[in-house]
Amino acid sequence: MTTASLTHPPIASVLWKNDNAAMRNIVLAVAGSLALWVTAKIQIPFYPVPLTMQTWVVLMIGMAFGYRLGIATVLLYLAEGAVGLPVFAGTPEKGIGLAYMFGPTGGFLLGFVLAAAITGYLAERGWDRSMPSTALAMLIGNVAIYVPGLLWLGAIVGWDKPVLQWGFTPFFLGDVAKLVLAALLMPAVWKLVQKRK
């Protein structure tokens, strides 16, 4: 399926029309993987724990790129980490490569792929055009990150440990703030694009 045949093409393909779609997709995937790398390392003061924008970037990559390129972008990022580049939060201090990926946060990394796929799929059905549907798409994407993340974390550390307190509760308020940001941003970008036409 080509971008032209999509009823709701992703915003990236609308903003960057190019005869060479393969080259555009390569550039976007590399740029997206670098954005994931950078946002894994930057912490913003927030309550109750510092905030990173990495999960927001995962969800926005899916929403802006569509599900195919969104998946490819996140898989490129994971491949960079698998070969030992210090692209993940806490690397290289907490290990690198596959050893890190199969550690306690491994399920969240799998969730990144699922979330990019889901938000991309929903965006290609027009869910990124209004605030309520964008917020709902981002909420579903967050669930796709947390479910495998918490299941994996519990399996690794043991269910007798406070899994929700370690892997969910401290991040909830930050995720709500990121959801609101996305719900404001994506429809606003679409409105600007419509005005340019």
CATH number of residue 128's parent domain: 1.10.1760.20
Query: How remote is the C-alpha of 118 from its chain's centroid?
Result: 10
- Note if the pTM is more than 0.75: yes
Note the pLDDT of residue 127: 95
**Mapped to the 3 state alphabet, what secondary structure does 68-103 carry?**
HHHHHHHHHHHHHHHCCCCCCCCCCCCCCHHHHHCC
**Cα distance between residue 75 and residue 3, in whole Å:** 21
Query: How remote is the C-alpha of 79 from its chain's centroid?
Result: 15
3-state secondary structure of 19: coil
Cβ 57 vs Cβ 39: under 8 Å: yes
Note the pLDDT of residue 48: 65
Note the pLDDT of residue 23: 92
Residue 181: other Cβ atoms inside 10 A:
14
Instruction: List the Cα angle 107/96/151 in 5-degree steps.
Output: 10
Query: Which domain, by its residues, includes 157?
Result: 3-196
Note the pLDDT of residue 62: 96
Note the pLDDT of residue 60: 96
Number of domains in the chain: 1
Q: What amino acid is encoded at 2 in this protein?
A: T
Note the pLDDT of residue 6: 58
Note the pLDDT of residue 1: 46
Note the pLDDT of residue 8: 86
Backbone angles phi, psi at 51, to 5 degrees: -105, 135
Q: For residue 83, which of 102, 70, 96 has the smallest C-alpha distance? A: 96
Q: With the C-alpha atoms ordered 70, 71, 72, 76, is the resulting torsion angle positive or negative?
A: positive
Note the pLDDT of residue 7: 73
Note the pLDDT of residue 150: 96
- Per-block mean pLDDT, blocks of 10 residues, the chain (197 long): 64 85 94 96 78 93 96 98 93 89 94 98 95 96 97 94 92 92 93 82
**Cα distance between residue 166 and residue 152, in whole Å:** 12
Cβ 70 vs Cβ 62: under 8 Å: yes
Question: Rg for the chain (alpha carbons), in Å?
Answer: 17
Burial class of residue 162 in the structure, from the number of CB atoms within 10 Å of its CB (0-12 exposed, 13-18 middle, 19+ buried): exposed
